Amino acid sequence: MHEADRKRRASKTGRILGTNPYADPGSSPEGARRGSVDSVRDPSVTSRIMAAVHAKNTRPELALRSYLHAKGLRFRIHDRRLTGRPDLVFVRARIAVFVDGDFWHGAGWKERGLKGYEEQFPSRREWWVAKIARNMERDSHVNHVLESQGWIVIRVFTSQLSTDLPAVADRIINRVRHRCLGARRLSRRSPDSLKH
């Protein structure tokens, strides 16, 4: 685990639990480097940390929603009628936006200098690799289903939002406005002008 990741995780863990994960005299960041996370931390602590991980309404997702709303876009959130329950749904434009966590969807390992996402898992590697692979397969399946129904699918990683929110949001805004403009042009044509 890289130093920046370790500090961020320790900080987040402390905020969630109100404790320092390395407060135990026998454990330290150095110990975490040598062994797996499971060997350093009590399983009940790990369970509480994992329970605090949100699947929706995450900070990056809320930041994107706020930015898009401030730019005048209106959307539905977590629409159950669509496969995969997209985080943002632009109904008129038929665009579904998913805000994916880098870790859970198999991304971010290149930025951290790893050779593959498998290197993130010092213990239970087979289980984690299978889990992340299932997530990526599900993402691909959801994309295929929605695209076959005429939707445009945009997937955004949380790291992209944290590094350049305006650029990511502007890309979404342009797609939505372009699709809506095209739909308006078609609806304004008279039925006679559509016949050739």
The pLDDT tens digits of the residues spanning 18-40 come to 544 444 444 444 444 434 444 56
The number of folded domains in the chain is: 2
Residue 56, classified by CB atoms within 10 Å of its CB into exposed (0-12), middle (13-18) or buried (19+), is exposed
Are residues 63 and 48 part of one domain? no
- Concatenate the DSSP letters of all residues of 3-46 into one string: HHHHHHHHHHHHHHHSS-TT-STT--HHHHHHS-HHHHS-HHHH
CA distance 1 to 153: 32
Are residues 78 and 160 part of one domain? yes
Q: What is the mean pLDDT of the chain?
A: 77
Are residues 180 and 105 part of one domain? yes
Q: What is the CATH number of the domain that holds 119?
A: 3.40.960.10
CA distance 81 to 67: 25
Are residues 71 and 39 part of one domain? no
Are residues 115 and 145 part of one domain? yes
Does residue 167 or residue 36 have the better pLDDT?
167
Please indicate, yes or no, whether the overall pTM of this predicted structure exceeds 0.85: no
Q: How confident is the model at residue 184 (pLDDT cuts 50, 70, 90)?
A: low
CA distance 161 to 156: 8
Are residues 28 and 92 part of one domain? no
Work out the angle at residue 4's Cα, subtended by the Cα atoms of residues 157 and 32, and round it to the nearest 5 degrees. 115
Q: How confident is the model at residue 82 (pLDDT cuts 50, 70, 90)?
A: very high
Are residues 72 and 43 part of one domain? no
Are residues 58 and 11 part of one domain? no
Are residues 186 and 113 part of one domain? yes
CA distance 23 to 40: 11
Digit-coded pLDDT (tens) for 116-161: 777 877 778 888 889 888 999 999 999 999 999 999 999 999 989 9
Residue 116: give the domain boundaries: 54-194
